[in-house]
Amino acid sequence: MAVRALYSSASGMAANSFNLDIIANNLANSSTTAYKQSRANFEDIFYENFKLPGVQDNQGNITPTGIALGIGTRVQSTEGDFEQGSILPSNGTYDLAIVGDGFFRVNDGTQDLYTRAGNFSLNANGNLVMASADKGYQLQPTISIPQDAINVTISGDGVVSYQQQGSTQIQTAGNLQIARFINNQGLLRQGDNLFLETTGSGPSQFGDPGTEGRGQLRQGFLEQSNVEPVRELVELIKTQRNFELNSQVVQAADQTLQTVANLRRF
């Protein structure tokens, strides 16, 4: 019946419309620091089986195939692509890029959150914080830089050093640590370049940069978004065509039903 085609194509239009939203979000964040692009996975919904494969015919022979009809598609999941973005120089003293796996841990006063956006700054107390105009996210563990500090350096393994005015002695402010998760896909996106740990991601595993698979730090660099505009545009064209094709099926099914409705005139 053409009614099935109507519902199948409607599900295809809904799924492709959802995919269009994901592509739009990826392209909108192509300049967002350390943004990780998303993609939608689809699955077929359900099948109505008119004849099962493998039944015996009246001669006792096993049939090799059956008859089944699906009723459309739906979004199975959304999946983040955590591949490394490009590392570009920023020349900021407190700009940090993670080269490899791992996340910075920050705290908003109530809970820990995780980010790969290393555009940090100092707050009024001299603590390293995310450079956010909306909320104070303090880097964990806390790193404090004295007001008269000069020549602040952060090594690849996270050691924060500085000199004080009038002194040649090198002081250590602390050690930066980064977190890894057994399943990055289980992290919950929070916006503001932040992720939240969930049961699906597993607990965070902290350690020094460069150890146990964690990436190393690069001072004065920032990780760029890993969105590839050309690939997104190709995906955009494909999604648009899929939507159009599904709309064509709706029109074809409608014309079929119209023909059936007009049979009484013949």
CA distance 162 to 143: 12
Task: State what percent of residues in the chain have pLDDT above 70.
Answer: 99
Average pLDDT estimate for 131-137: 83
For residue range 8-29, what is the model confidence (pLDDT) as tens digits? Answer: 999 999 999 999 999 999 999 9
- Tell me how far apart the alpha carbons of residues 123 and 113 are, in angstroms, rounded to a whole number: 18
Q: Where are the domains of the chain?
A: 1-42+76-81+228-264, 86-224
66-77 per-position pLDDT tens digit: 999 999 999 999
Residue 244 CA to residue 171 CA, distance in Å, equals 64
Counting residues of the chain whose pLDDT is more than 90, the rounded percentage is: 83
Mean pLDDT (the chain) is: 93
Cis peptide bond upstream of 89, omega within 30: no
Please give the model's pTM, rounded to 2 decimal places. 0.88
pLDDT of res. 262: 86
Helices (H), the chain: 2-28, 229-261
- pLDDT at residue number 10: 95
